Structures are given as structure tokens and as C-alpha cells.
Chains A and B, each alone.
Chain A
Amino acid sequence: MSVMNEPTMALSATGLRKSYGDKVVLDGIDLNVAEGTIFSLLGPNGAGKTTTVQILSTLVTADHGDVRVAGHDPRHDPDGVRAAIGVTGQFSAVDNLLTGQENLILMADLHRLGRREGRRRAAELLERFDLTDAAAKAAATYSGGMRRRLDLAMTLVGRPRVIFLDEPTTGLDPRSRRSMWQIIRELVAGGATVFLTTQYLEEADQLADRVAVLDHGRLVAEGTPDELKRLIPGGHIRLSFTGVESLDAAARVLGEVTRDDEALTLRVPSDGSVESLRTLLDRLSSIELSSLSVHTPDLDDVFLALTGHSQKEAVR
């Protein structure tokens, strides 16, 4: 029974397992996503992100596990789930032969919105996704960013309560990526729940209320981006020196530091604030420094700390 002050779950999964032949893709994962939040499933290629989305969106049946999406069980009531969700997959799901407007009206017809309401909704979404000028052009002629926006607009025609976005910004240029982030934030502001997969740590950090880190079909961590960052050693300042003499001198002054004789660097634990930087530089006033950099922990550090391999390595 849910308690009043506990958030309602838009989506939950317990002990989710899926294998294809001998290959275990999901090895018992648990997920809970509160209504009206952005949840990000973070992991490298092949971690099982897409399979998770496919199971939650009724495209694939799990071998084991209990799933509820918007209160419905995908195994026994797939149409109940489908009526509540919208899915934008990794690969473009637009009809290339139709125009942008026709694609949206096709969705409106399949949602049985009626002719007038369908046209109104299509016009509204074209406007919102900055596609009005391209409305009468075939989707085949759209750029990558426009196609992604049309794809998402089509997903929104039926006003889904739970929206799945499988790597929504993969392959987009930085500007299109930022505009997609803005759109995703607006979706949640409008009351929807977003389940987002990404292999970009920055994306999860920017958007998600909660992040789960998926590696080889298992969840290796879950929490808010800040909680995950707290799991790893704090930030540091990296000092580079021109020679061994100055490195030695600085190490003597600072005491507790990590030194790298080959690179001629010292790592000094720090919160990265201006005050701590000033203090540090004051103490080193007589020593010749070649450069200095401030390092704050990001989710890449989390990934490295949790899995023993960096995300970039895993992605190749």
C-alpha cells in the first residue's frame, strides 16, 4: 500500500532478467521511477539499456521479473501500457515518405483524436519543435536534428504519461543536443515522467533526478547525480612543475599530496573554491609552477570507481 507522502511510482521493475541464447543481457535489475521525474539509465554500448527500454515498452518480453508501467503489467496488459507510454527509440521512427505534418496527423489518427483535434495538435507540435517551415516537406529531406525533433513530436501526439527516450541525443551536434535537453526538461515540467538512456555522463548529470548505472546487465549504482559523485574521492587541484627541484620543494611545503615524478605533477585534495586556491598559491609563492588545473568529480569518475573501467574504454 502506498503511503501518502511517498511518491507514486510511474514505473517499477523487480528482478528483471533477459537472455538471448547463452548471452545474458539483463541479470536481475530493479528500477523505481517516481512520477514526474527524469530517470536516466547510464551505461556503455551493450550494457543492456535498449533491451530494458524494449521490455518496459512492450516490444520484448522479459524472461523473469515483475514490471509495472503506469500501473499496468506489460506481460498481461500490453495495450494498457501502450496507451500510457510514448517511445522514441534509438533509430528514427518516422515515415520518410510522408511530410512532417502528415507524420503527426498519422499519429493523431492512430490515437483517434478526430480530424480537427488531430490537425490542431499537429500544428501545435510543429510550432513547438520549430518544424513549421518544414511541415510540408518529406521527412526524408530532414536533417538529423530535425528528424529527431519530429520523432519526439510524434511520440508526444497522444500525450503520454511515461516517455521513453533511448539515447535521444546520440549523433546530434552540440547545439541540437542542448535544444533536445531543453525539450526534455519541458516535458517533465508538463507532468510527464521521462525514462532516458544515455551513454553521455554529462547528459545524465544535466537532466536526471536519479541515475542508475548499468554495466554488463547489472545495476552497479543508483542515486541522484550528487549522491553518485559523493561515492568517489572528492575534487583535487593538479599542479605541474618545471623540474624535480620545484616538485620536491612544493611536496615539502604541502605535505599530504599524491606525487607523480614522471609527469612532474602533484595532486592536492581540494573543493576547488577560490578561497582554497588562493591559500594554496600563497603557500607556494616562492616555487616555480608551470601550470595548474582544478578537477571536480564528474560521473565519469563515478563510472571508473564503480566498475573499475572507464566509460570511455567501455565505449571504445
Chain B
Amino acid sequence: MSTLSLAARDSATMLRRNLRHALRYPSMSLSTAAMPIIFMLLFVYVFGSTLGAGIGGADYVDYVAPGIILMTAAAGAISTAVSVCVDMTEGIVARFRTMAISRVSLLTGHVVGSLIQTMFGMALVIGVAVLIGFRPSAGPVAWVEATGVLLMLTLALTWLAVAFGLVAKRPETASNLPLPLTLLPFLGSGFVPTDSMPAGVRQFAEYQPFTPLTETLRGLLMGTPIGHHGLIAVAWCAAIALGGYLWAKRLFNRAG
């Protein structure tokens, strides 16, 4: 077998291990979906009528749902960072390092496992959104494109989270490092339009990755204009994914 197919086989083994962990201890996977769902209920039912009036009377759940769905990717990053960190502090990683297996498989197993878990969490969030009145106007093609955007962001944040998990010495630190990511949808166009914000915050909001992502996802699901946001969103995801991957790889090799 070639090196590549051995790497794929070992990664599949590691993926099975991670999925088994997730199935056996589902609280971590469910908490990924729980945080965005709680924020969604809070914003729709508690602040929704005021905020909805502020954005021109539209149904607020239709406005906020795309930002909330993206927030799930950030919440997933927390669970990824923690599970990588816990793994690295356990002796089993030292065992893997003394075996003739593909070294990167441990990380790819985590990444693919987290990708599946987070996408599952997103499906759950979308389901709850639809239950409380979210009515996307997207056709099948737009849904496929929207799924692509979500996959892209999740992959990017997952690699970044793997690096967080490797750089943190303790699981507590690992869970704190990705926390700012979950706040980014608030400081973008996820909850209110950026032009309603004070000058300093507005500039930050317009240039941070979650705004073009929110605008792209909202455009795909609700039919609002996307403009140049689509391209910027792809560029952000590619940059974060590459940066996270290279950082994680360096940390992992150094630890050996």
C-alpha cells in the first residue's frame, strides 16, 4: 500500500475512535448545539420584537438564524480543542508515537470527527430554528452552497481548534482559547446590521470574518444580496484553515 493509503487507513481508525468517544459521551456534542440554541431562543423570544422592529419589521428569527448557525462552528471549536488537549495529556498518545503508523492520522481523525459532530450540531440548530419559525427561501442549489459555506468554516475553525488544543497545557485553557470566536457573530452582522453600530465597533464588525460569512449564508438562505462577501468569506476560511493546519502541525511535531 502507498504511504497515502496507509495514512487514510490510520486516519479512518482514529476517526472511528473519536466517533466512538462522541457517541459514548454525547454531552460534549450536544453542548455544541446547546449554546447557539439558547442564544437563539433568548434573542428571538426576549429581544426579538424590539430588534425585529429595529431592522424594519421583518421576522427577527429569519434575520438572526444565519448568525446563530455560524456560531455553532465556533462552539464546536471549543469541544474540539478540549478533546485534543485531553488526548495529548493521556499516555495513549505516547503509545501512538512509538507505533509505525501515520503520525498525522491522530490529528486528521480529530478533524474529521469534529467536522461530523459540528455539522450534526448545525443540523440540530437549523431544525430548532425552523421549529420556531425560521423560513428560508433557499432552493436545493442554494442549500448545497450553504452547506459548503458551513463545511468550509467548520473545517477552518476545527484546524485552529486543534492548534489551540495542542498549545494548551490543560483542558481548562483549551476550552477558554476558542471562546472569543463564539463572540464574533455578536460583533458582526449576525444579530443587528453593522451600520447600526458605533464607529469603532462598526469598522471591526465590517472587517472580521463572521460578517462576510453571515452575509453569504443569509444571502444563500434568505435571498438577500451577497455581493463581494462570498469571495471574502472563502478567502477568510482558506486563510484560517491553512494557518490553523500549519500551526497545529508544527505544535504536534515539536511535541514529539
B98 touches A57 (CB 8 A): yes
Do B91 and A109 have beta carbons less than 8 Å apart?
A: no
Indicate which residue in B6, B10, B16, B99 contacts A82 across the interface (CB closer than 8 Å): B99
Q: Is the CB of B97 within 8 A of A89?
A: no
Which of chain B's residues has its CB closest to A86's CB? B98
Contacts of B92 in A (CB 8 A): 93-95
Instruction: Closest B residue to A154 by CB, please name it.
Output: B95
Q: Does A97 sit at the interface, judged by CB under 8 A?
A: yes
Contact-size category for B: 20 to 34
**Known A95-B90, A96-B90, A110-B10: A85·B20 in contact at CB below 8 Å:** no
B-contacting residues, A78-109, CB 8 Å: 79-80, 82-83, 85-87, 89, 91-98, 102, 106, 109
**Looking at the complex, which one of B16, B91, B96, B101 makes contact with A94 (CB distance below 8 Å)?**
B91
Do A59 and B9 have beta carbons less than 8 Å apart?
no
Interface residues on A, range: 20 to 34
Instruction: Tell me which residues from 36 to 85 in chain A have a Cβ below 8 Å from any Cβ of chain B.
Output: 57-59, 79-80, 82-83, 85
Report B-chain residues with C-beta under 8 Å of the C-beta of A102. 20
A82-B99, A97-B24, A109-B13 given; A59·B91 CB < 8 A: no
Q: Which A residue's beta carbon lies closest to that of B256?
A: A59
Q: In the complex, A98→B21 CA distance in Å?
A: 7
Quick one: closest A residue to B95, CB to CB?
A93
Q: Within 8 Å CB of A109, what residues of B?
A: 13, 16
Do A91 and B91 have beta carbons less than 8 Å apart?
yes
Cross-chain contact A83 with B100 (CB below 8 angstroms)? yes
A80 and B100 alpha carbons, distance in the complex (Å): 8
**Contact mask for chain B residues 3-32; partner A; CB cutoff 8 A; 1 contact, 0 none:** 000100110010011001100110000000
Among B9, B16, B94, B256, residue most surrounded by chain A Cβ atoms (within 10 Å): B94
CA of A155 to CA of B100 in the docked complex: distance in angstroms?
13
With A79-B100, A82-B99, A110-B101 as known contacts, state yes or no: A95 contacts B94, CB within 8 Å: no
B20 contacts A58, C-beta separation under 8 Å: no
A58 CA / B6 CA spacing, docked (Å)? 20
A111 to B98, CA, bound (A): 12
A112 CB-CB contact with B under 8 Å? yes
CA distance A98 to B17 in the complex (A): 8
Q: Could you say which residues of chain A place their CB within 8 Å of the CB of B6?
A: 112
> Other CB < 8 Å A-B pairs besides A82-B100, A93-B92, A110-B10, 19 of them?
A57-B98, A79-B100, A80-B100, A83-B100, A85-B98, A87-B94, A87-B95, A89-B94, A91-B91, A92-B91, A93-B94, A94-B91, A96-B90, A97-B25, A98-B21, A106-B13, A110-B96, A138-B24, A155-B95
7 pairs from A and B in contact (CB 8 Å cutoff): A87-B94, A89-B91, A95-B17, A97-B25, A102-B20, A110-B99, A110-B101
**Interface positions of A (Cβ within 8 A of B):** 57-59, 79-80, 82-83, 85-87, 89, 91-98, 102, 106, 109-112, 138, 154-155, 158
